[in-house]
Amino acid sequence: MHQIEILKDVVIIFGLASIVVFIFQKLKIPSVVGFLLTGILAGPHALGLINDQESTSILAEIGVVLLLFTIGIELSIKKLSKIKNIVFFGGFLQIVLSIFVTVLVLWLLNVKSNVAVFIGFLVALSSTAIILKILQEQDQLNTHHGKISIGILIFQDLIIVPMMLLIPMLSGESNNIGTELLLMLGKSLLLIGITVVLARWLVPYILHQVALLKSQELFLIIIFVIGFAVANLSALLGLSLALGAFLAGLSISESEYSHHAFGNLVPFRDIFTSFFFVSIGMLLDLTFFIDHVLIVLFVVLILIFLKSVVIGFVSFILGFPFKISFRAGLILAQIGEFSFVLVQIGQSHNLIDGFYYQLFLATAILSMSFTPLLILFSDRISNRLNQLPMPKLLKNGMRKLPTNSIQTLSRHSILVGDEKQVGSLMRAFERVDIPFIIIDLDPDRVRQLQKKNINAIYGHAQYESVLEHAHIKEASNLLLSLNGMAINASIIEVAKNLNPNVNIIVRTKFLEDLDYLYKVGADYVILIEFETSIEMFERALIHYLVPQTEINLTIAELRSRGYEVFRERSTKKSSNYLGIPNLEISSIEIKAQSKIIGKSIRELDIRQRTGVSILAINRKGDLMTNPNPDEHLLEGDIIYTMGEFSKSICINDYFNET
């Protein structure tokens, strides 16, 4: 019966969340706010739809674990080492200043010092789950304000355990705080040491052996085992599950399979993190909120202002200019999810009563709800404030900003498919010196290519993370030669969503796949059976001693009609295959023995003789657009022409006749 109750609660949460989030998406409101509202509505203080909040809390905790697991995978130890100054110096300074400012404000309100320090703990933490989820979605993790946010959030997650140990001392119930802190430090160092060993030796070896089996199910299972095993070890050592999950992600991040692993985990992460936000919403007492709405709003505004200033000041001390510093402050200006853990411990030690507990819940949830909007408008707000008169040092910062060292490709092609097809394409692209990246699910092949300094990554191209690692947003072409229409269609949809302008060329075996592949976004579909028929037809015409020029024209006419000529048998004979003009821009290089070298465009009278116009001439890198009719053509010139497809395809023969 307990299982039925859990299933019923899950159905209610997802059903209600679907409606709320659908409406919020229509209104362009982030889904995080929708999940919080879902929890408020389904909770015991509103509609009372959920009977077992404990089960929901367990699912929520899994969501936080998966979120920090994926964050660890995406960050990597190398990236983390680059922001160690932000993590340890900036994070420590932010915690100390936030607690100090909170204690100062509460001291003016005659709040006891131990209670004020405890509330300072709650205020000092920000929401890792909300901030990193939104920064991930908006591709802002590698920006300057993103790195500040990540660094400070990491330190906040690390400081959770010491704060938990300090709470009994604040309530006067513990006298061995020093011993407990030293023990906690030892456990943390042990866990970090295990993570380093996993990252350098064990995890890459395990993932490589699993990848060799080419089983997606086994690969996913191993990823989950690694993540939850390290998280469980962290909990056994008395540290947080979230910290263990983050370190497990870091251990995978150093592997070449990290992007594929990330793509596998994203759907599970999104499902379980939704439970986290719903569970937080369930805690709020709507009656209390309505009765004290003005007090709650005032506290939220004070909270956002003070945290923005404190974190902005810390960012400035780290050397960042005002605009970036204040933007980071706005992003981190809410209460964090781990504050809910601390407040429950504090309540059990009588550090906070019922009124202040509900005031905290209302303030925390409202500040979390404002966070997506603060992130969305942080750039505009910081830009406006940056225009105010201020000292040059404050505006420009105390040091030169670090540049983004991530090397990217642009105007390149992404090759996905079987080894023979991709190998042929690779050699062709190398011949014309066009950059490319290969995506492959064979780990040995990827390693072999990488050893030859060829851009190759392991993963399935249907995952956004894998395509983003291949710089899909900067790519010019995506060439697919996989078997299976569903796989090709899935990749096409994801690729077009990330880069609507990428040119997608896909190969398929079956005529019936043609329309659907074009419908989902393919720009050109090559039908294998069609191309085989064309090749056979061309060989037959050659045997009949038909001139090559006429063969090229006939084949061009067939191609210009797409594949319709092969779809149905027609009794109609026509000399005009091109029912609709099909313009084509072509490029032709003038070879050394061409008979037209030294002749002018006027003398050749190309338009009259071929029906093709010369648009431009590329001569040793210098482009001459709309060239003069008296311009003489030289060896090595690249001629750009425009005309009907059937004529353009044969013009190369005309230019290079000897």
Per-residue confidence (pLDDT) for residue 563, from 0 to 100: 55
Per-residue confidence (pLDDT) for residue 402, from 0 to 100: 44
| H/E segment holding residue 618 | strand 613-619
CB atoms within 10 A of CB 85: 12
Q: How far, in Å, CA of 617 to CA of 624, rounded?
A: 5
Q: What Å distances lie between residue 360 and 59, 259, 337, 473, CA to CA?
A: 23, 38, 12, 43
Structure tokens at 346: 């504090």
Q: How far, in Å, CA of 366 to CA of 333, rounded?
A: 12
Largest Cα–Cα distance in the chain?
104
Q: What Å distances lie between residue 514 and 172, 518, 523, 524, CA to CA?
A: 74, 6, 11, 10
Q: What Å distances lie between residue 35 and 15, 19, 217, 283, 304, CA to CA?
A: 11, 10, 30, 13, 22
Instruction: Specify the pairing of strand 613-619 against strand 638-644.
Output: antiparallel
Polymer length in residues for the chain: 658
Fold observed for domain 413-532: Rossmann fold (3.40.50)
Per-residue confidence (pLDDT) for residue 409, from 0 to 100: 73
Instruction: Specify the pairing of strand 477-481 against strand 456-458.
Output: unpaired
Strands across the sheet containing 622-625 = 583-589, 638-644, 613-619, 622-625
Query: Is this model's pTM higher than 0.85 or not?
Result: no
Q: How far, in Å, CA of 33 to CA of 25, rounded?
A: 10
Q: How far, in Å, CA of 586 to CA of 642, rounded?
A: 6
Selection from 582, 583, 588 nearest residue 606 by Cα: 588
Per-residue confidence (pLDDT) for residue 508, from 0 to 100: 83
Selection from 343, 337, 372, 341 nearest residue 360 by Cα: 343
Residue that the structure tokens 């680059």 belong to: 82
Instruction: Locate the domains of the chain by residue range.
Output: 2-395, 413-532, 581-658
Write out the DSSP string of 549-593. Answer: HHHHHHHHHHHHTTTGGGTS------S---SS--EEEEEEEPPTT
Q: How far, in Å, CA of 556 to CA of 582, rounded?
A: 10
Per CATH, the architecture of 581-658 is what? 2-Layer Sandwich (3.30)
Task: Give me the sign of the Cα torsion angle 436, 439, 444, 450.
Answer: positive
Helix runs in 587-633, H state only: 601-604, 606-610
For 457, phi then psi, to 5°, come to -130, 150
Q: How far, in Å, CA of 168 to CA of 198, rounded?
A: 35
Residues of the chain with pLDDT under 70: 1-3, 51-57, 59-60, 74-80, 137, 139, 142, 161, 173-178, 180-181, 399-408, 529, 543-548, 557-585, 644-658
CB atoms within 10 A of CB 121: 27
Per-residue confidence (pLDDT) for residue 2, from 0 to 100: 59
Q: What Å distances lie between residue 291 and 312, 362, 562, CA to CA?
A: 33, 11, 69
Per-residue confidence (pLDDT) for residue 94, from 0 to 100: 95
Q: What is the pLDDT of residues 444-496, one digit of tens each?
A: 788 788 888 888 888 788 888 788 888 898 899 999 988 778 788 889 988 99
Displacement of CA 379 from its chain's centroid (Å): 20
Structure tokens at 413: 């092609």
Write out the DSSP string of 64-99. Answer: HHHHHHHHHHHHHHHHHHHTHIIIIIIHHHHHHHHH
Contact 546, 527 (CB under 8 A): no
Per CATH, the architecture of 2-395 is what? Up-down Bundle (1.20)
3-state secondary structure (DSSP) of residue 625: strand
Instruction: Specify the pairing of strand 622-625 against strand 613-619.
Output: antiparallel
Structure tokens at 156: 């906040």
Residue that the structure tokens 């263990």 belong to: 244
> Three-state secondary structure along 480-504?
EECCCHHHHHHHHHHHHHHCCCCEE
